[in-house]
Amino acid sequence: MSSNPACRIRLIAPSGYPHDRDAMTRGIARLRDAGCLVEGTEVIDRTELRYAGSDTQRAADINGLATLDTLPDIALSIRGGYGATRLLEHLHYDALRERLADQPIALVGHSDFTAVQMALYAMSGIVTFGGPMLGPDFGAHRLSPLTWRHFWRTLSAPQGNASWDCGEAAELSVEGPLWGGNLAMLCSLLQTPYFPRIEGGILFVEDIGEPPFRIERLLYQLHLSGVLGRQRALILADFTQCRPAPYDNGYDLADGFEQIRRIAGIPVLSGMPFGHDPDKFTLPFGVPARLRVVGQRASLDFHGYPHLRRGHEPSMA
């Protein structure tokens, strides 16, 4: 590896322990092959019950960023699962705000990491990223070219774009803060200090393994709490392995989504690659964005997020 690495990546493990160690090893190797310096690899060796270490250890992965003399370019979550919610009362929000504000460091993850993203934004105003993680994404048997390229292109520039076929024919142009993540995690923090009150936003959601009726119920929770009504648009991203049961009598995700379209009172788009499928965009949480739809093609532009000052995009390993 070059003495001048493409970037310094520090691993963090706020949630579950690595149940697939081979994926972690592949992810580290791919990042190193791309010229990155990967630090903090000891977190993949921690296990306590279903977690990647104790609450204290996992909170220290994040709190420790406030005490580093030299910040990494990227703090990368190794995987999701469950456990981040247990850390929210133990994060040093004032110290993190003081150290990380206006610094070019990207905290990246998705799924359970949504809880950390919401809390850091609500309590400290820190912008993080929904995006790939070490094991599930960079360590996959087949690394998604879209995921890899969009990750580096987003983090290597002061503004980014995501475009996809959305299937909606109506033209649309709205602006507002971009935010979102895992639907169950979003709803779990409603009416807590860790749920940011974002007005006029562009909200994106995803989930995995929930039956369609539960997805509809979670979206109804956002609707009945007034969250949906305060947004400019809702983007339904990937809902992976969300299958109906025989009792559903044919009711599926499409039926649930159609019901939400009827009652939300805001534009509802679909098809954005983000979530638990291999292809996913890297999306900053809480930054100004513009969403446009022309001819069933959606385009999301965003800016104002931390990015790598070197602007280097490593080759796909």
Give me 186's structure tokens. 């979003």
- Residue of 15, 111, 144, 156 with catalytic role: 111
Residues ≥6 apart with Cβ < 8 Å to 170 = 267, 293
Residues ≥6 apart with Cβ < 8 Å to 72 = 7, 8, 9, 10, 39, 105
- Bridge partners of 48, per DSSP, are 51
Residue 135: phi and psi, rounded to 5, are: -75, -60
Cα angle vertex 205, ends 187, 180, to 5°? Answer: 75
For this structure, is 111 an active site residue? yes
For this structure, is 92 an active site residue? no
Integer CA distances (angstroms), 313 to 25, 141, 157, in order = 22, 22, 10
For this structure, is 276 an active site residue? yes
Instruction: For residues 38 and 248, give the distance between their C-alpha atoms in angstroms, rounded to a whole number.
Output: 47
Please say whether the dihedral angle defined by the alpha carbons of residues 148, 150, 155 and 156, taken in this order, is positive or negative.
Answer: positive
Counting Cβ atoms within 10 Å, is residue 103 exposed (0-12), middle (13-18) or buried (19+)? exposed
- Residue of 15, 110, 156, 206 with catalytic role: 206
Residues ≥6 apart with Cβ < 8 Å to 48 = 17, 54, 57
- Residue of 92, 110, 150, 276 with catalytic role: 276
Instruction: For residues 102 and 86, give the distance between their C-alpha atoms in angstroms, rounded to a whole number.
Output: 27
Half-sphere exposure of 239 (CA within 13 A, CB side): 25
> Number of helices (H) and strands (E), helices first, in the chain?
8, 13
- Bridge partners of 181, per DSSP, are 205
Active site residues: 111, 206, 276
